[in-house]
A and B are shown apart, each in its own frame.
Chain A
Amino acid sequence: MTAVPNDAAIVRERIESPTGQSLRRFLADRFSAAAMGIVLLFVLLAVFAPFIAPHDPYETDLFRRLQPPAWMEGGEWSFVLGCDGLGRDILSRIIYGARVSITIGLAVVMIATVIGIVLGLAAGYLRGWVDIVISRIVDILLGFPYLIFAIALMAMMGPGLKNIILALVLKEWVVPARVVRGEVLAAREMEYVEAARAVGAPRRYIMFREILPNILSPVIVVSTIRMAHVIILEASLSFLGIGVQPPTASWGSMVADGRAFVLDAWWVSTFPGLAILALVLSINVASQGLRDAFDPKFSD
C-alpha cells in the first residue's frame, strides 16, 4: 500500500478526466445531441409558456367545442391543433402541460435520487442491520405494483401536484438505492477505499467524498432513464383520473378527456399523446447517449 496523497491524486484523475471525455463523446453523438436539444426545447416551452401559447389554456368557449385542427374542414389557423370538449385551445394546453410533466419528472427523479444515494450508500457501506432494514424495505416496496401503490397513496393524501410528487418519490427511490448499493458493494473492496480506511478517514468522508464521486455516473444515467418512466407514470395517473388539478392541463388527463370523443374527434387525444411520446423519446435517446458516453462497455 503506497502513500495516501499519491492515491488521492489517482482518484482525482479518475473522476475528472473521464467525465470530460464522456461529455465530449456525448456531444459528438449527433443523434443524442439533437434529442437533448428537443428536451431543452420542451423545457423552454414550459418556462415561457405564457409568452408562447397562442391562447389562454383555461379559456373555455362552448361554441368552439371539439373544433377540428386547422387543416380539416371547420378548423381555423388560430387554433392549429383544434379545441377540446370545452372549446379550449389544444396547442396552448399542450404547451402549458409541459410544465406539469417536466416539473414532476425532474422533482421526482431528483428527490428520489438523493434519497436513494443516501440510503444506498448507508446500506452498501455500513452493512449490518442498516443494510438489512433498508434492503427489506426495498423488497417490500418492490412487491407493490407501481401504479397501485401510487393510486392508493393519492387516495390517502388527496389530489394535487405536491402529493403526486410525494406518491411517486416514495416508490421511486428504490431504484437509485439499489443501483447505489450494488455499486458501493463493489467499490468498498477497491484499493482507494481500503487506502482511505487504512489512514483512518471518517466513514462519512469515505462514503460521500471517496465512493460517491466514483459511482455517480451510472446513477445519473439510470436517473435520466427513470425520468422518462416517471413522466409516463404521471401521465398514466392523470389518465386514470388521479392527477393534477384542472384547469391545469396535464398531458395524461388531456388524453383521458379525449377518450370520450375517440370515435371521431381523434385530435383531442392524439396530440397530447404525441407530446408525451416526443418528450419521453427524446429523454430516452439522450440518456442512451449519456450511457454510451459514460459507460463505453455498453456501447456496441
Chain B
Amino acid sequence: MFSRVSAVAAIAMMAAVPLAPAMASELRVGFTLDALTLDPANHRNRQTETILRNIYDGLLTRDAKMKVVPELAESWTQVDPLTYDFRIRQGVKFHDGSTMTADDIVFTFERLTKDGAMGGQTSPRKDLVGPVESITKVDANTVRFKLKEPWPILPAMLPVQEVVSKAFTEKVGSQGLATQTNGNGPFKLVEWRKGDAIILERFDDYYGGSPDIAPVGKACVDRVIFRIIPENASRVAALLAGEADIIAELPPYDMKKVEANANTKVMTVNGTRSFFVALNNAKKPFDDPRVRRAANMAVNKALIIDKILLGTAVPLNGVLSPDAFGFNPDLPAYAFDIAAAKALLAEAGYPDGLDVTLDTDGAFKDMAEAVAAMLTKIGIRTKVVVGEGSTIRAKWAPGGEKKGDMFFNSWGNGSLDPADIFVPTLRTGDRGNTAFYSNKEVDALLDAANVELDQVKRADLYKKAQVLVNKDAPWIFLWLPQDIYGVSKRVTGWEPSADSRINLHDACVK
C-alpha cells in the first residue's frame, strides 16, 4: 500500500518537473491544423479562423447560446431592408497602441468586398459578407452597410470577419499581413512557429470584449499556445500527460480514458456539421422515393451512434441541427425496420435487391462501411468506394455527369442558419446539391425565405421546406456529431462553442 502511494507521488513529481515552473499562467491548446495565413481576409478555413479570432475581434460575435451580439460594434440597427448602421465602440486599441476608428472598419470591409483590394487579389471571403453595395462612414462613430439586395443573414455572418488596422495593413501590405498581426483581440502574437505552434500573450490594453458576454475585461491567462498536433493519438497523449490544457477533436473512442484520468475531463457541444448519405435522385434506383425511404429505414442510426460514436451525436431526420434557426422538431423519423424496408424495396420493383456503390472520403471509411453493411442486409447491396475528397467532389459536382449512386457526405453550418446549409445542399442545382435533388416547392420556399425579413415568417418557410424534404428523403439522414474536447481540470471559465471556435478570452488556469 505504502509503495503504491509513493509511486503515485513519484509520478506526480515527475509530471511536475519537466515543465519549467511557469511564473506566468499559460494555457495550451492541442489543435489539429496550423493557420494557413494570419491575414483574416485571405482564407476560407475554419481552423485559421479559430486561431485568428483570439487575436482579432469582429464587429459582432456570438454568445454561448449562439446568439449574435455586438463586439467591436456597440450596437446595430437595420434602417431598411438594404441598409444596416453599426455604431462603433469607442476606445478600442490595436496591439500597437493606436486607436480603432470607423475608418478601420470601412477599410476592413472594403478590403473584403472590393475586387483586387488585397494587393491585386480578391478576398476569398468576399461572398461571406453578402451582396454589399457600399460601406461608408456616416460620422466618426457610425458605419453604414448598403446592400444590393435584401440579405437577412448579414448580422449572422459578421462574426466570421475580423477587423484589421488600416494604417498597419497599408504599411506592411497584404503580403506582410500574412505573417504579421496588429489585432484588437484579447491576445497578441508573440511568435508563429509555422507547422508547430502559435504563441500568444495577453494584450493588456484590451477593451474588454462584448459586454453581453461576461466577464468583461482583459484576458485571464498571461499566455496562450496553440500547439499543432494533427495526430489524434498524440493530441490525447499530450492532454493526458498534462502538456495540453484543451484539445480539440477528441476522438469518441478516447473519451473514456480522458474521463478516467484524475486531471482531465470531456466537454461536448452540439456541432454544426450534418452527416448524410446523398442518394443520386437523378438516376435509377434512387430516383424512386420508395427506394430512398427503404434505405432510410435500413440504417440503424442508434446502433452506430451508440457503438462507434459512443453516444456523441444526435440523430437527424432532416438537414438542420436542432440548434439551428428554423429547425422543425416535428419531423417524423424513419424508424429502423428491416422487414418494412424490404417490403418497400420489393414494392418499388426490387424484390431481389440491387447493387450500388457508396463513395466516401477516407476519413469516414468506418462509418460508411457500417452504413453499407446495414443497407446490404435489406438487399441494397452496397460496395464502399474510398476516394480522395477532391476526386469524389468532382464526381458529385451538381454540374457533372451524375453517375454515382451514393455519397457519404456532410456539410458544416457554422452560422447555424439554413441559408448556409439548406439552400446550398438541397436547392435545385446549387453547389452542394450532391443528391441532384430538385423539388420546385422546396426551391420556392427557400427563395422566399432568403428575402423574408420577418424572422418568424422566415423560420416558418424553412419549417415547411423541411417537411417536404423529409418526405422526399433525398438523403439517408444520419446524424449531427458533437464537438468533443478534452480539457484539463485546471481550466476554468471556458466552454466549448457550437461554432467550433475556441475563444480563450474568458479561460483561466488554476
Contact = CB atoms under 8 A, between A and B. Distances in A.
Is there a contact between chains A and B in the complex with CB atoms less than 8 Å apart? yes
Contacts of A60: 369-370, 373
Interface string A47-68: 0000000000011101101000
A198 B302 CA distance: 82
Contacts of A292: none
A7 interface: no
A86 B369 contact: yes
* Main SS at interface, chain B: helix
Given A65-B307, A155-B391, A262 B369 contact: no
B355 to A, nearest CB: 14
B232 A260 contact: yes
Nearest to A262: B233
Nearest to B382: A247
Point out which of B236, B257, B373 has the most chain A C-beta atoms below 10 A from its C-beta. Answer: B373
A158 B370 contact: no
A267 to B, nearest CB: 14
B388 A242 contact: yes
B468 to A, nearest CB: 33
B395 to A, nearest CB: 9
Contact of B369 (A241, A247, A259): A247
A63 B373 contact: no
Contacts of A62: 303-304, 307-308, 370
A261 interface: yes
A242 B391 CA distance: 12
B186 to A, nearest CB: 34
A241 B233 contact: no
Interface string A137-155: 0000000000000000001
A226 B254 CA distance: 40
Interface string B220-253: 0000000000001100110000000000000101
Nearest to A58: B373
A73 to B, nearest CB: 16
Contacts of A247: 369, 372, 384
Contacts of B369: 60, 86, 246-247
B386 A260 contact: no
Nearest to B300: A62
A162 to B, nearest CB: 14
A241 to B, nearest CB: 4
A131 interface: no
Given A159-B387, A260-B251, A263-B254, A246 B365 contact: yes
B366 interface: yes
A59 B377 CA distance: 11
Contact of A257 (B232, B308, B366): B366
B386 A65 contact: no
Contacts of B388: 155, 159, 242
Contacts of B384: 245-247
B387 A158 contact: yes
Given A241-B386, A259-B233, A263-B233, 9 more contacts: A60-B373, A62-B307, A65-B308, A155-B388, A242-B388, A246-B365, A247-B384, A260-B251, A263-B237
5 contacts: A62-B307, A65-B307, A155-B388, A246-B369, A260-B251
Interface of B: 232-233, 236-237, 251, 253-254, 257, 303-304, 307-308, 362, 365-366, 369-370, 372-373, 383-388, 390-391
Interface of A: 58-60, 62-63, 65, 85-86, 155, 158-159, 241-242, 245-247, 257, 259-264
